[in-house]
Structure 1
Amino acid sequence: MNLFSYDINEKFKKSVAYFSMEFAVDQSLKIYSGGLGFLAGSHMRSVYDLKQNVVGVGLLWSFGYYDQLRNEDRTLKPHYTRKFYYFLEELDVKVSVKVDNKDVMIKGFLLRCDVFGTAPIILLSTDIYENDYLSRTITHKLYDANEKTRVAQEIVLGIGGAKMLEAINHKVDIYHMNEGHALPLIYELYNRFGDIETVKKHVVFTTHTPETAGNEVHNINFLYEMGFFNGLDLNTARNISGCKKSDNFSLTIGALKGAKIANGVSKIHGIVANEMWNDVEDRCEIISITNAQNKKYWTDKTLIRALDEHEDYELLARKKHLKKVLFDMVADQTGKMFDPEVLTIVWARRFAEYKRPGLLKYDYERFVKLMTNTQRPIQVIWAGKPYPTDTGAIDIFNELVHISHKFKNMAVLVGYELTLSKLLKQGSDVWLNTPRITREASGTSGMTASMNGSIHFSIHDGWHPEFAKDGKNAFTITPVDYELPFFEQDRLDNKNMMDILENSIIPTYYDNPHEWVNIMKSAMSDIEIEFDSARMATEYYEKMFNL
Structure 2
Amino acid sequence: MKALRRFTVRAHLPAQLAALERLSVNLRWSWDKPTQDLFAAIDAALWEQVGGDPAALLGQVGPGRLEELAADDSFVRRLDAIAADLDDYLTRPLWYQQLGGEQSGAGDEAGLPKGIAYFSMEFGVAAVLPNYSGGLGILAGDHLKSASDLGLPLIAVGLHYRSGYFRQSLSADGWQHENYPSLDPQGLPLRLLTDASDNAVLVELALPDGAQLFARIWIAQVGRIPLLLLDSDIPENEHDLRSVTDRLYGGDQEHRIRQEILAGVGGVRAIRAFTELEGLHAPEVFHMNEGHAGFLGAERIRELIEAGLDFDTALSVVRASTVFTTHTPVAAGIDRFPVDMVERYFGPDPGDPSVGGSRLLPGVPLDRILAFGAEDDPTKFNMAHMGLRLAQRANGVSLLHGRVSRSMFNELWDGFDPAEVPIGSITNGVHAPTWAAPQWMELGRELIGSDDLTSLRETEAWSGLREVDPGHLWWIRCQLREELIEDVRARVRRSWLERGAADAELGWTATAFDPGVLTIGFARRVPTYKRLTLMLRDPDRLARLLLDEERPIQLIVAGKSHPADEGGKALIQQIVRFADREDVRHRIAFLPDYDMSMARKLYHGCDVWLNNPLRPLEACGTSGMKSALNGGLNLSIRDGWWDEWYDGENGWEIPTADGLTDEGRRDDLEAAALYDLLERAVAPKFYDRDDNGVPIRWVEMVRHTLQALGPKVLASRMVREYTQKYYLPAAQALRLVIEPGRSDTAEFAVPFGAARELAEYRRRAERAWPQIKITDVDSYGLPDTPLLGSELTLTAQVDLGGLGPDEVVVQAVLGRVDAGDALFDPDTVAMTHTGTAESGHEIFTATMPLPITGSVGYTVRVLPHHRLLAGDNELGLITLA
Q: TM-score range by the shorter chain?
A: over 0.9
AA paired with 2:138? F
- Compared with structure 1, are the counterparts of its residues 240 and 473 closer, same or farther at alpha carbon in structure 2 (3 Å cutoff)? closer
Name 1:383's counterpart in structure 2. 558
1: CA distance, partners of 2:633 / 2:376: 49
AA paired with 1:277? F
Aligned equivalent of 1:263, options 391, 395, 415:
395
Task: Extract structure 1 runs of 4+ deviating beyond 6 A.
Answer: none
Deviation at 1:301, TM superposition (A): 2.9
Deviations 1:229-256 (A, max 9, x none): 7433332223344459822111111111
Aligned equivalent of 2:707, options 521, 525, 547:
525
Residue 292 in 1 paired to residue 429 in 2?
yes
Normalised to the residue count of structure 2, the TM-score between the two structures is 0.59
Name 1:398's counterpart in structure 2. 573
- In structure 1, runs of 5+ residues without a counterpart are none
Larger Rg, first or second structure (1 or 2): 2
1: CA distance, partners of 2:137 / 2:700: 32
Deviations 1:116-150 (A, max 9, x none): x3622111110111112211111000011311111
Deviation at 1:76, TM superposition (A): 2.1
Aligned equivalent of 1:88, options 187, 190, 198:
190
AA paired with 1:219? P
Residue 420 in 1 paired to residue 598 in 2?
yes
Aligned equivalent of 1:478, options 652, 655, 661:
655
Higher relative contact order (CA 8 A, sep 6+): 1
Secondary structure of the equivalent of 1:268? helix
Deviations 1:207-240 (A, max 9, x none): 0021234311111121121349743333222334
The answer on whether the counterparts of 1:242 and 1:257 sit within 8 Å (CA) in structure 2 is no
2: CA distance, partners of 1:434 / 1:41: 25
Q: Which moved more, 1:192-201 or 1:527-536?
A: 192-201
- Compared with structure 1, are the counterparts of its residues 466 and 245 closer, same or farther at alpha carbon in structure 2 (3 Å cutoff)? closer
Deviation at 1:313, TM superposition (A): 2.0
The answer on whether the counterparts of 2:429 and 2:718 sit within 8 Å (CA) in structure 1 is yes
1: CA distance, partners of 2:375 / 2:559: 37
Aligned pairs, number: 541
Q: Which moved more, 1:42-51 or 1:210-219?
A: 210-219
Q: Sequence identity of aligned pairs in percent?
A: 32
Name 2:670's counterpart in structure 1. 493
Deviations 1:273-315 (A, max 9, x none): 0001111148982101000101121101313544746132232
Secondary structure of the equivalent of 1:83? coil
Name 2:214's counterpart in structure 1. 105
Name 1:153's counterpart in structure 2. 259
Name 1:183's counterpart in structure 2. 294
2: CA distance, partners of 1:467 / 1:301: 25
The answer on whether the counterparts of 2:175 and 2:570 sit within 8 Å (CA) in structure 1 is no
The answer on whether the counterparts of 1:303 and 1:319 sit within 8 Å (CA) in structure 2 is no
2: CA distance, partners of 1:351 / 1:175: 31
The answer on whether the counterparts of 1:46 and 1:118 sit within 8 Å (CA) in structure 2 is no
Name 1:505's counterpart in structure 2. 682
The answer on whether the counterparts of 2:401 and 2:640 sit within 8 Å (CA) in structure 1 is yes
Name 2:481's counterpart in structure 1. 323
The answer on whether the counterparts of 1:306 and 1:315 sit within 8 Å (CA) in structure 2 is no
Secondary structure of the equivalent of 2:402? helix
Aligned equivalent of 1:535, options 705, 708, 717:
717
Aligned equivalent of 1:353, options 528, 534, 541:
528
AA paired with 1:439? L
Q: Which moved more, 1:215-224 or 1:454-463?
A: 215-224
AA paired with 1:334? V
Q: Which moved more, 1:132-141 or 1:237-246?
A: 237-246
AA paired with 2:217? G
- Compared with structure 1, are the counterparts of its residues 514 and 260 closer, same or farther at alpha carbon in structure 2 (3 Å cutoff)? same
The answer on whether the counterparts of 1:68 and 1:414 sit within 8 Å (CA) in structure 2 is yes
Aligned equivalent of 1:197, options 316, 319, 331:
316
Name 1:50's counterpart in structure 2. 150
Deviation at 1:356, TM superposition (A): 0.2
AA paired with 1:100? P
Name 2:326's counterpart in structure 1. 207
Secondary structure of the equivalent of 2:525? coil
AA paired with 2:300? L
Deviation at 1:331, TM superposition (A): 1.2
Secondary structure of the equivalent of 1:236? helix
2: CA distance, partners of 1:243 / 1:459: 32
- Compared with structure 1, are the counterparts of its residues 164 and 490 closer, same or farther at alpha carbon in structure 2 (3 Å cutoff)? same
Deviation at 1:322, TM superposition (A): 1.5
1: CA distance, partners of 2:334 / 2:91: 36
Deviation at 1:479, TM superposition (A): 2.7
2: CA distance, partners of 1:414 / 1:497: 25
- In structure 2, runs of 5+ residues without a counterpart are 1-25, 27-88, 101-111, 195-200, 305-310, 348-357, 445-464, 494-508, 690-694, 730-881
Secondary structure of the equivalent of 1:95? strand
Deviation at 1:369, TM superposition (A): 1.7
2: CA distance, partners of 1:245 / 1:368: 48
The answer on whether the counterparts of 2:169 and 2:176 sit within 8 Å (CA) in structure 1 is yes
AA paired with 2:193? L
Deviations 1:477-518 (A, max 9, x none): 113223432112211111111111111001100125100011
Secondary structure of the equivalent of 2:256? helix
Deviation at 1:320, TM superposition (A): 1.8
The answer on whether the counterparts of 2:130 and 2:164 sit within 8 Å (CA) in structure 1 is yes
The answer on whether the counterparts of 1:437 and 1:482 sit within 8 Å (CA) in structure 2 is no
The answer on whether the counterparts of 1:95 and 1:107 sit within 8 Å (CA) in structure 2 is yes
Q: Which moved more, 1:50-59 or 1:221-230?
A: 221-230
Residue 433 in 1 paired to residue 602 in 2?
no
AA paired with 2:707? S
1: CA distance, partners of 2:247 / 2:165: 6
Aligned equivalent of 2:121, options 17, 21, 33:
21
Deviations 1:303-360 (A, max 9, x none): 3544746132232222222222211222112243211110011110111110001111
1: CA distance, partners of 2:180 / 2:251: 14
Normalised to the residue count of structure 1, the TM-score between the two structures is 0.95
The answer on whether the counterparts of 1:306 and 1:314 sit within 8 Å (CA) in structure 2 is no
